[in-house]
């Protein structure tokens, strides 16, 4: 010891207590046995059999623990398929989100719909046969009922199978008058009025409307055009005056014509040519029902009106060649007292 004095430790019974050096530490040796609270000696290796059993176990060789340890050590977590797949999917999702996002948020989807049938919510493009380059001309509801229009020449008409709901608005085929379905299921028609819509105009060659001319050498054309607005045609009325008007082999009061009067119409860009007029009876044949009148007077007067139902002449400038009504005189009609033709219609 530092002071040279030897010191010995003894317990309460006078027994020596030994001290053993353990590295740089000094530890007191235990020579006695452990006792419980009642003073009975305790043998840890045999107490209740539990410690003895536990002491006999070799944990490194136990089946359950050994298997678990082996499986754990065998795993390479960095290369696990499931984790790698998850990481790859997250990377893909991140790239997709970046591609559709801009500084203002989500970009608009500008791609066209693919070919075929595409449904958006409850609105379907339709699966019925369609016209060339067009939507189906016949539309069907979810129950397969027809609910549309069909094309009849240049006019689209409501299909007979379709039903109109109360309060529905209807556009009549004349393009002028409106109609609606009343609460009790009746058709209510509102007819357009006003003199500004009516059209009464003579066909002219330049500034002249007189057709009783000598056109045997050079044909003369008399024409009407719709102007700035669409016009629904109602009729073309011919008026002929002569001392005596005959039927048979006559045109008014003169001999039957050699070349005849040519009547043409261009309606909605479609040209229509009427039968050539050689005799008085030709006017009678093509006149509308109730549209032929002959008055015996001084002079006699003949009026023949040709019908133009469903003819809509489009406004000037609509087509490369404007719509028209044209009468071409190709014979010498100067023997007649008077001849003219008047177009009748209504602006739409």
In a domain, 239, yes or no: yes
CA 61/CA 133 separation, integer angstroms: 81
- Number of domains the chain contains: 1
What are the pLDDT digits (tens) for 65-104?
Answer: 667 677 767 766 666 666 667 777 788 888 777 776 666 6
In a domain, 276, yes or no: yes
CA distances to 28, 31, 191 from 20, rounded to whole Å, are: 6, 12, 128
Secondary structure (3-state) at 237: strand
In a domain, 329, yes or no: yes
In a domain, 253, yes or no: yes
What are the pLDDT digits (tens) for 284-330?
Answer: 999 988 889 999 988 999 999 998 888 999 999 999 999 999 999 99
Name 207's bridge partners. Answer: none
Q: How far apart are the first and last CA of the chain?
A: 132
How would residue 27 be classed by pLDDT, with cut points 50, 70 and 90? confident
CB 238 within 8 A of CB 333: no
CATH code where residue 286 lies = 2.60.120
In a domain, 32, yes or no: no
CA 291/CA 293 separation, integer angstroms: 7
Domain around 222 = 196-347
In a domain, 80, yes or no: no
In a domain, 95, yes or no: no
Of 27-36, 82-91, 180-189, 232-241, the least confident: 27-36
CB 318 within 8 A of CB 228: no
Of 14-23, 131-140, 234-243, the least confident: 131-140
In a domain, 310, yes or no: yes
Would the pLDDT of 245 be above 90?
A: yes
CA 148/CA 159 separation, integer angstroms: 6
How would residue 246 be classed by pLDDT, with cut points 50, 70 and 90? very high
Q: What is the pTM of this model?
A: 0.46
């Amino acid at each position: 010891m530092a002071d040279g004095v030897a010191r010995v430790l003894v317990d309460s019974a006078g027994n020596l207590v030994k001290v053993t050096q353990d590295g740089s530490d000094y530890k007191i040796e235990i020579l006695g046995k452990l006792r419980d609270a009642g003073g009975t000696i305790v043998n840890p290796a045999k107490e209740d059999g539990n410690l003895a059993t536990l002491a006999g176990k070799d944990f490194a060789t136990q089946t359950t623990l050994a298997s678990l340890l082996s499986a754990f050590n065998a795993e390479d977590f960095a290369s696990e398929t499931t984790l790698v797949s998850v990481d790859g999917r997250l990377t893909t999702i991140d790239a997709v989100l970046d591609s559709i996002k801009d500084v203002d948020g989500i970009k608009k989807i500008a791609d066209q719909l693919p070919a075929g049938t595409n449904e958006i919510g409850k609105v379907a493009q339709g699966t019925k046969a369609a016209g060339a380059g067009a939507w189906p001309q016949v539309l069907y509801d979810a129950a397969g009922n027809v609910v549309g229009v069909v094309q009849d020449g240049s006019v689209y008409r409501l299909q007979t199978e379709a039903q109109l709901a109360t309060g529905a608005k209807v556009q009549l085929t004349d393009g002028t008058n409106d109609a609606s379905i009343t609460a009790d299921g009746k058709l209510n028609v509102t007819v357009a009025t006003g003199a500004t819509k009516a059209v009464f105009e003579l066909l002219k060659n330049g500034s002249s409307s007189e057709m009783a001319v000598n056109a045997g050498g050079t044909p003369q054309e008399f024409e009407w055009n719709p102007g700035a607005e669409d016009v629904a045609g109602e009729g073309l009325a011919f008026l002929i005056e002569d001392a005596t008007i005959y039927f048979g082999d006559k045109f008014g009061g003169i001999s039957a014509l050699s070349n005849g009067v040519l009547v043409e119409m261009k309606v909605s860009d479609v040209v229509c040519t009427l039968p050539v007029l050689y005799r008085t009876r030709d006017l009678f044949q093509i006149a509308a029902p109730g549209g032929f009148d002959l008055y015996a007077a001084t002079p006699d007067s003949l009026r023949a009106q040709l019908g133009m139902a469903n003819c809509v002449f489009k406004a000037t400038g609509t087509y490369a060649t404007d719509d028209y009504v044209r009468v071409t005189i190709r014979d010498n009609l100067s023997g007649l007292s008077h001849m003219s033709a008047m177009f009748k219609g209504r602006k739409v």
